[in-house]
Amino acid sequence: MRYCHASHFRIAKMTYPILDLARLKAFVEVASHGSFARAAATLGTAQSVLSRQVSALERDLDGRLFDRTGRGVVVTALGERLLPRGRALIAEAGAFREASRSGREAPSGEVTLGVVPVASRRLVAAVVGAVRDRYPDIRLRAIEAYSGQVEEMLATERIEIGIFNRYREARLPGADLLLRGDMHVITRTGHPAALGAEIALGDLTGVSLALPLRPNSLTSLLTGLAASHHLTLDIRFESGSTSLTREVLLASDLATISAYHVFAAEIASGQVRATRIAHPAIRQMTWMSLASHRPPSEATRAVAALFRRMAASPERLRPDA
């Protein structure tokens, strides 16, 4: 799609800006990453280009979208108000492109998904509902597996679409960043590790942990970070099942490390407490990638577009949505 630069049109003597989608995408990416440098790395473009695009959009809107800090950028009140709409517009533009490719016949056929446990369930549920409403001739199959297994299934063509997590700030060529969030120490309410709003990595050395079964990217990252800081983690239990880890957590004094939304129901009920990991902060990025050995089918492209659209509308993923 060719993007037009911002111009204006008049209706009833009022002037309205026509927004440049490239500038809008730059704003959304910088807001998502909290940094021009990280957004530029994800998009594979120069930081100076993103800076010019955001500055141009701020001129179009006659307002600041970011406050610059020593550690990156913070979205202003105006930016916070416009960000959900910006994400929705970018997703809708992607859906528009997909519609132009799909021809006159509605997509049909079977699409197999590989998804990480629990973390992506609400997103998958939203997509399943949208597929049912929009594409009645598409059938979905889902296989739950940890991230490494999902990526292996993509490589061996067992699935068409893979949803998986990474924990390092690095661009994945050909993949879409769907969700991003801080990692937390999850404990039963009253556990000593849950006394503050944040916890440092060094404070975890005395905490008995239940972690995903190795080989696993999160467990490997945690043990690697600990070793680089000359620390040893007390890993007492490893499991290939998030549900089993949850049961062990609720029945013992073990803690686990997870994204907040995985335990949102238990946190809301007061059963467990989430304490954000800081110094260093650990962030989970949820990515979507398509099998690349052959061109994706129309059905696969349609389902992938819905994943992008749902991920761009966080209000659709809330428990009460």
Chain segment 127-137, per-residue pLDDT in tens = 999 999 999 99
- Mean pLDDT, the chain, rounded, equals 84
- pLDDT value of position 307: 94
- pLDDT value of position 91: 77
Q: pLDDT-based confidence at 235, cuts 50/70/90?
A: very high
| Residue 263, pLDDT above cutoff 80 | yes
Q: pLDDT-based confidence at 319, cuts 50/70/90?
A: very low
Domain(s) labelled CATH 3.40.190.10 in the chain stretch across 109-178+286-317
Q: Which residues contact 12 (CB under 8 A, 6 or more apart)?
A: none
- pLDDT value of position 275: 92
What are the two backbone dihedrals, phi and then psi, of residue 145, each rounded to the nearest 5 degrees? -160, 160
More confident residue, 14 or 225: 225
Residue that has been written with the tokens 């709409």 in this structure: 85
What distances in angstroms separate CA 214 from CA 75, 149, 241, 283, one per listed residue?
Answer: 37, 11, 12, 19
Provide the residue type at 127 as one letter: V
Mean pLDDT confidence for 135-163 = 91
- pLDDT value of position 9: 46
Q: What is residue 92's three-state secondary structure?
A: helix
Q: Which residues contact 100 (CB under 8 A, 6 or more apart)?
A: none
Evaluate whether 31 touches 79 at the Cβ level (below 8 Å): yes
Q: What is residue 146's three-state secondary structure?
A: coil
Give the CATH superfamily of 109-178+286-317: Periplasmic binding protein-like II (3.40.190.10)
- pLDDT value of position 293: 78
d(CA 5, CA 46): 19
b or e along 289-321 (b: 16 or more beta carbons within 10 Å of the residue's beta carbon)?
A: bbbeeeebbbbbbbbbbbbbbbbbeeebbeeee
| Residue 13, pLDDT above cutoff 90 | no
Q: Which residues contact 228 (CB under 8 A, 6 or more apart)?
A: none
Mean pLDDT confidence for 254-268 = 89
Integer Rg of the chain from CA? 21
**The residue count for the chain:** 321
Q: Please name every residue paired with 260 in a beta bridge, in sequence order, or none if there are none.
A: none
Q: What is residue 284's three-state secondary structure?
A: strand
- pLDDT value of position 265: 85
More confident residue, 13 or 284: 284
- pLDDT value of position 231: 93
| Residue 76, pLDDT above cutoff 50 | yes
Mean pLDDT confidence for 87-101 = 73
Q: pLDDT-based confidence at 4, cuts 50/70/90?
A: very low
Mean pLDDT confidence for 229-252 = 91
Select, from the ranges 7-16, 25-34, 89-98, 229-238, the one with the highest average predicted confidence (pLDDT): 229-238
Q: How many CB atoms lie within 10 A of CB 212?
A: 24
Cβ-based burial of 271 (10 A; exposed 0-12, middle 13-18, buried ≥19): middle
Element (H, E) at 123: helix 121-134
Among the four given CATH numbers 1.20.1510.10, 2.40.100.10, 3.40.190.290, 3.40.50.1460, the one describing domain 180-284: 3.40.190.290
Q: pLDDT-based confidence at 234, cuts 50/70/90?
A: very high
- Of the candidates 229, 315, 220, the residue with the CA atom closest to the CA atom of residue 279: 229
What distances in angstroms separate CA 166 from CA 208, 263, 287, 304, one per listed residue?
Answer: 24, 19, 8, 19
Q: pLDDT-based confidence at 3, cuts 50/70/90?
A: very low
CATH topology for 21-100 is: Arc Repressor Mutant, subunit A (1.10.10)
Mean pLDDT confidence for 268-286 = 91
Query: Taking the model in full, what pTM does it have?
Result: 0.63
